[in-house]
Structures are given as structure tokens and as C-alpha cells.
A = this chain, B = another copy of it.
Amino acid sequence: MAIVLGPNRYGKAETRLVRVTRDGDTHGLADLNVSVALSGELSATHLSGDNAGVLPTDTMKNTVYAFAREHGVASPEEFALLLGRHFVQTQPQITHARIGIESFGWERIGPHSFRRAGDFVRTAVVDVSSSGSQVVSGLRDLVVMNTTDSEFHGFPRDRYTTLPETTDRILATSVTASWRHSAGVADVEAVKDALVHAFVTTHSYSLQQTLYAMGKRVITDFPGIAEIRLALPNKHHYLVDLSRFDLENPGEVFMAGDRPYGLIEGTVTRDDAPPALVEWYL
């Protein structure tokens, strides 16, 4: 038996970059959180502490800032591709770069004034290797609620089942979505609108059904999106039993629960989608 080094990577996580563009008095703003992870032939540093192939993570941070100046931030995806290609092309021992970016939205409230928009965070994960690259876009923390048009019944019951069937409940979730492209990069606001529209217009018999409707809508509307993955926590709202106080509660007073929560995860794809890189699944 021998002990061996398995898969490994390293990088600089969460470099916070704010990039201002100045067009006279009118400024633009990109607010990013950039994480870099590189892999390749890195056994020397693991086995003997020989760092000849270990570009410092501090250099990755510097590169993020310098590239922001040299190339600008056209989009999180393009900026990530620039960074990923740079590391793979310039570091001979590096065969793969994963660049993850969170992008925080700001609303304009003046020529050079902005208000942080808290409604969702845009995400991008780009994998670059010598054999090609994969661009995954996404969003998280998009919280939506339907106060009716949600039912849940017809489910199996076992010894431990006490949940009553319902034909009217609150359905609320915090959407995390990521999608991979077969061509181009879809407009993230448009994808968000499609997700929201499907959530709102689906009369739901299960959150799974809503998830599939949301994914299907995106695949239908965006030919360049090959596959979308959704994670939807079921943010439970419990109808409060007010009969103890001689009060009715016709779907009006709810307790918002923290934990536990349902968690529904699924992928929707087109049957002729090109295969994903393995990194899509990690």
C-alpha cells in the first residue's frame, strides 16, 4: 500500500473588486467577489514543499485588480474567461482554472450615485482548460412568494405521516439557479424575469412542479441555454391555529419558519444539449 495525492486545487477566494468607469460626470459600477482555483501538476509542493510551480494566491489577487484596469469588466462571464485563460496560458503547470464570481447589483440614483439592490446576487462560474471552456451563469437569493394557487395533496402516507392535505397554502422560496450555455451568454435579467414569471403563473401542486415549470420556461425561451439547475428551499409558512382563541384563520395569519425547510433540487435540460464538462456536476 502506498499513500498518494489525489485531486487538488488552490487559489485565492473572495477578492472584492469595485470597478468604476468614468464617462465624464457619469460613472458606472461593477461590484464583484472573485474566486480563483487552479489545478494541474502540483504534487511537488504537496510532497516536498517545493513551490516552483505555485504562483502565489497573492498574485491572483493582484491579477484580478490589474485585469480590471487593463480590460475592464464587460460582464462577470467575460472577466472570468479572461482570468481563467490567463492562468492556464501563462502557468505551464496549470491545466485547469475555475473562476467563480458573485456580482452585486446597484441601482443608479444619480450620475455617480448608486443604491445597493438587494433583490438577488448574480453568479458566474467559468472553467477553462486546454481542451475548452465552460460558462455557467446564475443567480441566488431571489426570494418569491405566492400567497395562494399552491396545493399539496395525493402524497403517500406512512406511519410517520401527519401532514394534512391542503388545497391552499403559501408557496415561498429563495431561488438559486445556474445554467450552462451552448451558445452565447443569455441576459441574466431576462432569465430572472422568465424564472419569476413561471413561478408566478404556475398553479402549483408541488414545488417540484414549479421547479420544472421554471426550468422549462428558461430552456424554452433561451435557445443558447443547454441546461439549468435549480435549488429551491421550501420556505414554510405555517397557518397558525387560532381556534384556541375562538378565532378563525382563513389563510391570513402565518408563522414564517426558519428550520427545518424542504429543499427541492432539479435540473431541466434539452435532449440535444451538448455534453457538459465534468465540472458542471461538481
Q: Chain A residues in contact with chain B, CB under 8 A?
A: 1-22, 27, 29, 31, 33, 35, 37, 42, 45-59, 61-63, 65-66, 68-70, 90-91, 106-107, 109-110, 112-120, 141-149, 152-163, 170, 196, 199-201, 204-209, 211-212, 216, 219-220, 227, 229, 233-234, 237, 240, 242, 244-245, 247-272, 281-282
- 10 additional contacts (CB under 8 A) given A12-B263, A17-B253, A114-B146: A5-B266, A15-B255, A22-B251, A59-B160, A65-B242, A65-B255, A66-B242, A69-B249, A117-B118, A162-B244
Point out the residue from B22, B53, B255 that lies within 8 Å of A16, measured CB to CB. Answer: B255
Picked from B4, B20, B114, B234, the residue with its CB within 8 Å of the CB of A57 is B234
- Say yes or no: A12 contacts B106, CB within 8 Å: no
* Interchain residue pairs with CB less than 8 A apart (21): A10-B266, A11-B262, A11-B263, A14-B260, A16-B255, A20-B170, A21-B252, A22-B252, A29-B147, A46-B209, A55-B161, A56-B163, A57-B234, A59-B157, A65-B255, A109-B196, A113-B199, A115-B119, A116-B143, A118-B141, A162-B244
> Which of B3, B70, B227 is close to A219, meaning CB atoms less than 8 Å apart?
B3
A115 to B153, CA, bound (A): 26
Are B46 and A208 interface neighbours, CB within 8 A? Answer: yes
Is there an interface contact between A264 and B10, defined as CB atoms closer than 8 Å? Answer: yes
Question: How many copies make up the complex?
Answer: 4
Q: Name the residue of chain B whose CB is nearest to the CB of A255.
A: B16
What does DSSP make chain A's interface, helix, strand, loop or mixed? mixed
Complex Cα spacing A22 to B253, Å: 11
How many Å from the CB of A118 to the closest CB on chain B? Answer: 2
Distance in angstroms between the alpha carbons of A70 and B245 in the assembled complex: 10
Inside 8 A of A116's CB, which chain B residues have their CB? 119, 143-145
Question: What residue of chain B has the Cβ atom nearest to residue A227's Cβ?
Answer: B6
Task: Give the Cβ gap from A17 to chain B, nearest Cβ, in Å.
Answer: 7
The docked-state distance in angstroms from the alpha carbon of A213 to that of B266 is: 38
Which residues of B are found within 8 Å of A204, using beta-carbon distances?
49
A208 in contact with B45 (CB, 8 Å): yes
Least CB distance, A37 to chain B, in whole angstroms: 7
State whether A270 and B1 are in contact (beta carbons under 8 Å apart), knowing that A10-B262, A37-B265, A52-B154 are contacts in the complex: yes
